[in-house]
Amino acid sequence: MTDLRTILLVEDDQRDVELTLKALKASKLSNPVAVVNDGVEALEYLQYEGKYKQRKKEFPSVVLLDIKMPRMDGLELLRIINNDKILSTLPVVMLTSSREDPGLKECYALGANAYVVKPIDYKEFIDSVTALGIFWALINESSPELKT
C-alpha cells in the first residue's frame, strides 16, 4: 500500500469536528486527518503559510469542506481553489448540515466534486463518512500534479 495521504477537514464547529473524527475512526480508515477551522486557515494549510509553513509538502487526498464558517466560508474557499491552477485539481467534498444551502448549484459550478448532507442519525453519518473516506482517500486516483 502506498503512503496514506491526509484528509483535510475544514470545519468550524468543534462538536462536528469531534463527531467527524470519530466517524472516520469508526470507518477504519487509517489516513491521517488534518483539521482547520475556516477558509483562511485552510488556505494557509494548502499554501504552506502561517503555522503550516513547516508542514510536509503534500496535498491532501480530499478536502471535506463545510459551508457555513466564520472569516472565509466554504464557497469563498472553493472559488479560490478553483482559480488556482494546481489546487483546482484537488478533490473537494462539500459536507454540510442542510439541503437548503443556497450554494448547492454554485458549489458544483465552482468545481466541487461531491455534495453531502450530513445525516442527523449518527449511524447514517458514520456510513456516509466511511463511504466518502474510502472512495476519495483510497479508491480515487489523484491528479499527478498533486502527487509532487
Partner 1 sequence: MLKPTYAELEDQIAEYKKNIENLLAIAATETEAKQDRADELVIADKAKQNRADELVIADKAKQNRADELVIADKAKQDRADELVFADKAKQNRANELVIADKEKQNRADELVTFQSERQERESYLISAEAEMKVRKEKVEGLNVELAREIVKRNGELIAANKELEAFCYSVSHDLRAPLRHISGFANLLVNEFSNSIPEDGQHYLENIETSTSQMGQLIDDLLKFSRTSRYEMQVGDVDMNNCLVEVLEPLKQEYKDRDIHWSSVELPHVNGDSHLLKLVWTNLLENAIKYTQKQQKARIQIGFQDKEAEYIFYVKDNGVGFDMKYAHKLFGVFQRMHSDKEFEGTGVGLANVRQIIEKHGGRIWADAKPDKGATFYFTFLKPENKYD
Q: End-to-end CA distance of the chain: give it in Å, rounded.
A: 18
Closer to partner 1 at the Cβ: 51 or 123? 123
CA torsion through residues 62, 79, 10, 40, sign:
positive
Other C-beta atoms closer than 10 Å to the C-beta of 99 total 8
Shortest spacing between CB 106 and partner 1, in angstroms: 13
Q: Cell digits for 15? A: 462538536
Backbone angles phi, psi at 49, to 5 degrees: -120, 170
Nearer to partner 1, 60 or 103 (CB): 103
Question: Which residue, 5 or 118, has its beta carbon nearer to partner 1?
Answer: 118
Q: How far apart are CA 75 and CA 57, in angstroms?
A: 25
Residue 29 phi, psi (nearest 5): -75, 135
Return residues touching partner 1 (CB under 8 A). 13, 15-16, 19, 22, 68, 96-102, 118-123, 125
Nearer Cβ to partner 1, position 37 or 96?
96
Nearer Cβ to partner 1 (100/141): 100
Which burial class, exposed, middle or buried, applies to 61 when counting CB atoms under 10 A from its CB (0-12, 13-18, 19+)? buried
Q: How far is the CB of 93 from partner 1 (least distance, A)?
A: 17
Q: Least CB distance from residue 108 to partner 1, whole Å?
A: 18
Residue 117 beta carbon to partner 1: minimum distance, rounded to whole angstroms: 9
CB 51 to partner 1: min, Å: 27
